[in-house]
Structure 1
């Protein structure tokens, strides 16, 4: 049955799209001054700081083996992707990165099928195949049309696999914990890694004392962490509550549009090959996540876990 959502719900979806879609440009601006490891560490530290008060109040809700699961969530949902995205964008345009990020729901379906025996329909397999065809184009075809393997694009592919593992762990092992608890506590658990680097070998203090641009780059990274990583997740799960997971996950299709548009406004050039690859990925994601007619004997596939968590 078709549902008509109020204007405020659509505005919240657009806000989430702008926040997550602009994350790749914020990484790009942070890399003007800071190294990839500094960008990743600052992003994690600022996100953890925003959610720390909420996480500390919820520590007593964590039971037994949930601690190990939360550590895995922190690693696959925050720590590894933060570094992978930062290193990838030293050689990739922000728009292309945003398009590749749309692979997350495809890998979520694959991980769910391989690790948790979730049923995958023929329609889903076709969608996955289309999405992978688009991925091959983006990973092997350069902006000028030349064919060569882009290793840095593979970093984004690995990051989306990490997101997929993270989403499946949350769905299967942490069904009784709230999203704020999961995100806040998991970020606190990986925060020491970021702090050890920031307080040790990083050169952030010297950069801030010698260049005004360093402060603007720092602002971009802090905005990325506080808004793009921490608060955006709260907004996403708010949409799930007031609308539906399927409606909220439609942000997956809108993020690349924002990322590519901002990239072009910043002087990035998008070739026809890359447009074709992006289109195939988005069409594949849409096809794979359509609600199939699932036999009652099988669990519903992980179609509602289609969000990008940077």
Structure 2
């Protein structure tokens, strides 16, 4: 595969990841009333683990090396933390507000990648990040702004956890394929959270069909598939560059929430989405040589 084609597929994988992760925010809102934060985190990861376990023979998943276990463990901790913190935050915040907070994750990815992976953040990429972040601020203002309270801090913690996972997954993709990194991470996170929520399986048994559908989307789509497409993309691109695609999530989340939940975006939300798109395109493209 030529370099241009490989990069094109990486961008397609990023768009797929952003779309699946965006759909998670309204899906969480649907499932939370019946599951609660901790039960939902476990249910989502259990579904994802089963899906990946069934696909493992086809995907050719290998055993990880002993030297990589600390990084895998760090990724699993970050994933488990992200799932729980995001769910808790969405108990008290709308899916749009939550998606906006999590959209700051690339900032923490870039910071960690610069220190841990020695990745260089160019001026163009930094400018694109700033423009995209401005777009998220426009959407936040349209939704009434945000107060700095416990909910905001919890969602900020979710964003930091997401950014940390993206940074630590980069070295793993140099030695393992995207599906393998996804399996290691999700299986590890599942084992960590199950003991903390023993009632999760009872909640899964008693849940309504709408909540069950939301959990299936979260587990299979937003976790199993999205983590594999993310692993593929980050293997082809810098971690900080790949994480710029997260700025697309709030705009996509608004569209998904409109179709699924009937939440209507206003003109300012659409303007913010356009600004986000402009920033992402600036960060993910290179200037033409003259």
| TM-score normalised by length of structure 2 | 0.75
For residues 1-310 of structure 1, what are the structure 2 equivalents within 5 Å?
Answer: 18-53=19-54, 54=56, 58=61, 60=63, 62-76=64-78, 78-134=79-135, 141=141, 143-144=143-144, 148-149=147-148, 151-199=150-198, 202=199, 205=202, 208-209=205-206, 214-235=208-229, 245=237, 252=246, 254-265=248-259, 266-268=261-263, 270=265, 280-291=275-286
| C-alpha displacement of 1:37 | 1.1
The Cα offsets for residues 22-75 of structure 1, whole Å up to 9 and x where unpaired, read as 211111110121211111111111111222352997453x22221111011111
- Whether the 8 Å contact between 1:143 and 1:271 is mirrored in structure 2 is no
Unpaired stretches in structure 2, ≥5 consecutive residues: none
Relative to structure 1, is the Cα distance of residues 257 and 204 closer, same or farther in structure 2, using a 3 angstrom cutoff?
same
Q: How many aligned positions are there?
A: 280
- Whether the 8 Å contact between 2:129 and 2:280 is mirrored in structure 1 is yes
For 1:163 and 1:264, the matched residues in 2 are separated by: 25
- Whether the 8 Å contact between 1:130 and 1:281 is mirrored in structure 2 is yes
For 1:148 and 1:160, the matched residues in 2 are separated by: 17
Relative to structure 1, is the Cα distance of residues 87 and 81 closer, same or farther in structure 2, using a 3 angstrom cutoff?
same
| C-alpha displacement of 1:236 | 5.0
Larger radius of gyration: 1
- Whether the 8 Å contact between 1:95 and 1:262 is mirrored in structure 2 is no
Unpaired stretches in structure 1, ≥5 consecutive residues: 294-310
Relative to structure 1, is the Cα distance of residues 98 and 282 closer, same or farther in structure 2, using a 3 angstrom cutoff?
farther
Identify, as 1 or 2, the structure richer in helix: 2
- Whether the 8 Å contact between 2:233 and 2:242 is mirrored in structure 1 is yes
| C-alpha displacement of 1:80 | 0.9
For 1:9 and 1:147, the matched residues in 2 are separated by: 34
Relative to structure 1, is the Cα distance of residues 115 and 276 closer, same or farther in structure 2, using a 3 angstrom cutoff?
farther
Q: CA RMSD in A?
A: 4.1
| TM-score normalised by length of structure 1 | 0.71
